[in-house]
Each structure stands twice: as C-alpha cells, then as structure tokens.
Structure 1
Amino acid sequence: MRAILMYGAGDVRIENVPDSRIKNSTDALVRITASCICGSDLHPYHSMDPASGPARMGHEFIGIVEEVGADVVTVKKGDLVVSPFAVSDNTCAICEANLQTSCLHHEANFWDGIPDEGGQAEAVRVPLADGTLVKLPVAADSALIPSLLTLSDVLGTGYHAAIAGGVGAGTSVTVIGDGAVGLLGVLSAKRLGAEQIILMGRHQARTDLGREFGATDVVSTRGAEGIAKVRELTGGHGTHVVLEAVGYMSAYEQALGVVRRGGVISRVGVPQYEDAPIGMGSLFRHNIRLAGGPAPVRAYIDELMPDILDGKINPGRVFDATTDLDGVPTGYQEMDDRRSLKVLVTP
C-alpha cells in the first residue's frame, strides 16, 4: 500500500510500504477515505533530523472498517468511522475522567508513537479499536465529511482549549493564532456563549473566516502593539480567557500580556520550547491560571457531532485545499508557505 513518510526537514515522500494488518485481537483495519495535514505536522517538517527518520505521518482520518480482531465489538466490517489523534481504551480510570490522551492501557497513545502506522496512507491498523473509533452515521461520500474529519483533532482541540479555559456565557476570550485550531477555538468559544472574542492573526482570509465563526474583533499586530490593542478593546483589563493555539514562546508571552487578572491561559499549541520558567512568578502575582494540554478529543466527539449533522456548525470550512496522496508533499509546502490553511487528503 502507499503511505506518506517524512525523511527529514522539508523531505516528505510517498512510498510503497507493507500493508497494514491486524496484529492484536483488539485491532481494526481501516481503509482510509479522508485524512489531512495538521499544523502540528509542520513542526517536524521544519526541524526533523534525518537520523530519526523516516517516520510515517498523519493522525487525523476517516475510513471504512475492513477487518476487526476477535475481541472488537463496537465496530464491524463496512462501518464508516472517525479516529481521534490519540489511541485509548476509553474505559480505564483516566479515560473515564475524560483524559483519553493519557490512557493507562496503551504504551504510545499518539499515532506518531505507533510503529509503521499513520493516517496519511491508504490503510491503517487501529489499536484498541473499541475505545478509539467512533462510527459515523453518514456515507463516505457525504458532504459532511470535511466537518466530521475535524472531530479527529482540530475541532476537538479548539473546543478543549475553550473548555479547559472555562469559557462560558458572558466571558471575554482572546484567541492567539489564526490556524485551523485557533479558528475552531473561535467557533468553540462562540458555541459556549462567549460575549467578546478577539482573534489575533495576520492573514486576512483566515481572520475573515474567524469573524464568520464568531470573532467580534481582530487584532493583526503582535508584541507590545498587539497587547495594547487587546487591552484597549477590553477597557484596559484583558480577557477572562486566552486560547493559545500556536505553541511558540512568543505566543505564550502574548497570552500573558492580554490575560485579565484572575484569568486563564489555556494552551493547546504543541509547545516548541523546553525548560521555560512558565507558571511560577509570571502568573502568581495576579492569580492567573495555566490550563490546557493535548486535547482528549474522544471525550468531545459525541457532544460535537450532532451539531455538525444538524448543520449548526460547519468546521470543515477550515479546509481550503484538497489533494490525493500524490499531492501531499506539495500540500506540506503550501501549508508551510501559508498558501493553504489546511489540506484535505482524499483517495
């Protein structure tokens, strides 16, 4: 079968690899019908050491179940399913606390830790299929597929940022980052009843979509000027919640500059810094709280899917380009160059 591998920074290839097969009684084999490139995939695209490659890529996908292990009971051959970006049994004590990204019963959890598997491929072996996969009540050619695919990561991640930050009716929110997660953080804040949603982003096509998703204001400047603008828009106070959807230190510092005293910074951007003195003296003085982390998107799929099926939300609008597997290497480059927001991959 064919799959996408990354060999090093900027080096993405499509190659023939051994077919994925059932290994354990709790596995399912899924033929992928829709996947995509994630903004987090650009981190290794920038910095991956060739000595650590090649690596299979992709952690967001929808597909049709082709085979199941003997102990799988919740899905069967022929079912159309969506997979979260983290594998979980969805029954352990940690999963029951809605932290499926920290499941006790799988050694890898994230797809990039599962050898020889990935979502940017023709097929994939899904461990712990009963806990991981969710059946979709539509056909594989449904017009809702792009929006349902966002349940695998970006919608659930934006929603987790808002939930972890305590967004609710009457709150004010700043969203840092106009990528897919940031934009769906805007949508999520709107869904949860936020009164004021300030989107900090510099790309007009993206911030225009952010306004359609619910942003009340857009701040296109960064640094001290951007912080001053947010403060101006909030009567000098800053916002109750800041959703940091980038992961760079500059974005965290921006968040610290715009959060209200007693507020919450909720981080879901994959951190690209190490050993930073975050959360000690910088937050203590004004009772600012730090929240967020890898989104347990499995916890939100059942809650968010009905809104997609009913047409109340259309998160699939973050996909602004579509390609097949052959076009994935170009898709990485286009996303890195900011010519595409998020690339949908279909057969």
Structure 2
Amino acid sequence: MRAAIFRGAFAIQVEQIPDAALLEPTDAVVQITHACICGTDLWPYRGQGPYQPGWQIGHEWMGIVQDIGSEVRTIKRGDRVIASYDFCDGTCEFCLQGLDSACVQGGLWGFGHEGGQAEAIRACFADATLVVVPPEVEGDEALLKAILPLTDVMAAGHHAAVSANVRAGGRVAVIGDGAVGLCATLAARRLGAEQIIVLGHQPQRLALARQFGATDIITSNGDEAVQQALEMTQGGAQAVLECVGAKETIQMAVTLSRPGGTVGFVGAPHGQEVPLGHMFSSNIGLRGGLAPARAYLPELLAEVLAGRLDPSSVLDRTVSLAEVAAGYAAMDQRQAIKVMVRP
C-alpha cells in the first residue's frame, strides 16, 4: 500500500510499504477515505522536533473497516469510523477519567506508529479508539468533510473553550487564526459567548473567523493589539483561547485576561515562559494542553450530524495522496489553511 513517509526537512514522499494487517486481536484494519495535514505536521516538515526519517506521518483520518481482530466487539467490517489524533486503550485510569491524551498505552498516529496519510491503517485498541459514524452519511461529501476536522482541530478548539470556561454571554479572546483558532472561535460561539475577539493577520482566515462567529477582529501586533483588546472588552476577556503556542502569545493571553479569568491553551508550546507574577496578582487561571479528542468525539459528532456544527470550511484545499507533498508546501507557505487528503 502507499503511505506518506517523512524523509527529512521539506521531504515528504509517498512510498510503497507493507499492507496494513492485524497484529493483535484488538486491532482493526481501516481503509482510509479522508485524511488531513495538520499544522503540527509542519514542525517536522520544517525540520523542527524529533521526527525521524522513515516514519509515517499523519494523525487525522477516517475510513471504512476492512478487517477486525477476534476480540473486537463494537466495530464490524464495513463500518465507517473516525479516529481522534490519538489512540487509547479505554481502560486505564486516565481514559476512564476522559483524558485519553494521557493513556498509559496510547500514543499519536505517526510519531513512530502507523500514519493516517496512507491508503490504510492498522488501528490498535479498535473498540476504544474508533467511533462509528452512522451509515446515512455515505455519499454526502459535504457532511463527511464537516466530520473530518473532529479528528483533531475541532476537538482542540473545543478543548480551549471548555478549559477557559467559556460561558453564555461571556467575553472571549481567541489568539491565532489557524485551523485551531478558527475552530476555537466556532466552539466559543457554540457555547454562547456574546463577544468573540479574534487576533490574527491573514485576511482570508479572518473572514472565515467572522463566519464562525467572531464579533471583532484585531490585526495589529504586540502592545497595540493588547490595548485594543482590553478596550474592546472593557478590561479584559473572561476567557482567552491561546491557539499558537509561542512565548509571546501565552504572555499576550495572560495580559488579555480579566482578573479572575482563565486562559485555555492548546497551542503546542515552543519557548514558553509563563508570567506567573501577573497571574498570581490577578487570580488568572491557566488550563488546557493536549486535547482529549477521543472523549469529545461523540458529543461533537452528534452536533455535526444534527447540523449545529460545521467546521468544514477550514479545509480549503484538497489533494490526492500522490500530491501530499504539494499539500504540505501549500500549508507551509500559507496558501492553504488546512489540506484534506483523499487517497
């Protein structure tokens, strides 16, 4: 079968690898029909981080079950399934608490495991990891496209909003106009925020933020952006959703917080320095991290199927698996927000 393989900085190649096959009785083999390139994938693509040449890549996917192990009970051949970016056993202390991202036997697709930018995948812990999508979605490409972001970016945006305690009628600031920031905007609107300020710089993305529920947009930088947001919120946002992960953005998030407010951070951290002094004096909370996407999947899937949630617009370019390298280049050069891959 074909799969995307990381070969080094700016080198993603589609290669023939052994077919996906059952290795454990709890496995399933899934033919992948839809996958994505994630902003997180751009870190190894740019040569940053510990990704090793030869590893498969891709952690956002869904598809059709082709085979199941002898101990799989809730999944059957022919089911359409969606997986979160992480796999989990469903039985450990943390899975039982709804924190699958900390599963003691879990991990991320790719990163030395099977990758989702491929023709098929071995899904370990199939009963715990996979969620069955109702068969009536078949043939409805618009609906399938709306479901696909639940694998990661919509779950991450939702996690930021939940972690920051977004409430109906509240004031929210979203830092970042990438796919996660846009989904965080959508999540804040879904949770009833009255004012949603998005801080970003890309016109196309900010236009989409407006469609997703942003009431205000800030395109300035640094202290000027902070001052604008403080004025708009009359002293700070009750919830700040940090969706970038840079040192400057976490500091900005804390500065934008209203005393007693909370920062929900989901941006993968790079060079973080947390301003504890300001947080201490203003009683500002900091919560979030790697989203427990599998725990959120049933709720978010039900919302999409009911027509109350549609993050599909973040997927603004589609490539075939053979063209996946071009998809990486488009995202790296900010020519696309998020790329869908159709094997």
Q: Is the structural similarity TM-score above 0.5?
A: yes
Match status 1:14 vs 2:18: no
Asked whether the 8 Å contact 1:28–1:126 carries over to 2, the reply is: yes
Asked whether the 8 Å contact 2:2–2:14 carries over to 1, the reply is: yes
Match status 1:333 vs 2:329: yes
Shift of 1:8: 1.6
Which residue of structure 2 aligns with residue 86 of structure 1? 86
Shift of 1:128: 0.5
Which residue of structure 2 aligns with residue 123 of structure 1? 120
Which residue of structure 2 aligns with residue 245 of structure 1? 243
Asked whether the 8 Å contact 2:239–2:261 carries over to 1, the reply is: yes
TM-score (norm 2): 0.96
CA distances 1:32-76 after superposition (whole Å, capped 9, x unpaired):
000010111111112247993122110010110011111001101
Which residue of structure 1 aligns with residue 309 of structure 2? 313
Q: Which runs of 5+ in 2 are unaligned?
A: none
Match among 337, 340, 344 for residue 340 of structure 2: 344
Q: How many Å separate the matches in 1 of 2:9 and 2:50?
A: 7
CA distances 1:242-290 after superposition (whole Å, capped 9, x unpaired):
11111111211221221111111111011122xx442633421111111
Q: How many Å separate the matches in 1 of 2:275 and 2:254?
A: 10
Q: How many Å separate the matches in 2 of 1:194 and 1:4?
A: 40
Q: How many Å separate the matches in 1 of 2:207 and 2:276?
A: 36
Which residue of structure 1 aligns with residue 152 of structure 2? 153
- Paired amino acid for 1:85: Y
Which residue of structure 2 aligns with residue 97 of structure 1? 97
CA distances 1:222-261 after superposition (whole Å, capped 9, x unpaired):
21111111011112x1101111111111211221221111
Asked whether the 8 Å contact 1:321–1:342 carries over to 2, the reply is: yes
CA distances 1:302-341 after superposition (whole Å, capped 9, x unpaired):
1111221122221111111011001110111101111101
Which residue of structure 2 aligns with residue 254 of structure 1? 252
CA distances 1:180-221 after superposition (whole Å, capped 9, x unpaired):
110010010011011110001111111111111111100011
TM-score (norm 1): 0.95
Distance 1:50 1:288, change over 3 A: closer
Q: How many Å separate the matches in 1 of 2:223 and 2:55?
A: 39
Q: How many Å separate the matches in 2 of 1:82 and 1:309?
A: 13
- Paired amino acid for 2:134: P
Match status 1:291 vs 2:290: no
Which residue of structure 2 aligns with residue 111 of structure 1? 109
CA distances 1:100-156 after superposition (whole Å, capped 9, x unpaired):
11113x1x42113443x1000000001100000000013443221111111111111
Identity of aligned residues (%): 43
Which residue of structure 2 aligns with residue 270 of structure 1? 268
Q: Tell me the SS of whatever aligns to 1:299.
A: helix
Which residue of structure 1 aligns with residue 43 of structure 2? 43
- Paired amino acid for 1:127: C
CA-atom RMSD in angstroms: 1.5
- Paired amino acid for 1:251: T
- Paired amino acid for 1:178: D
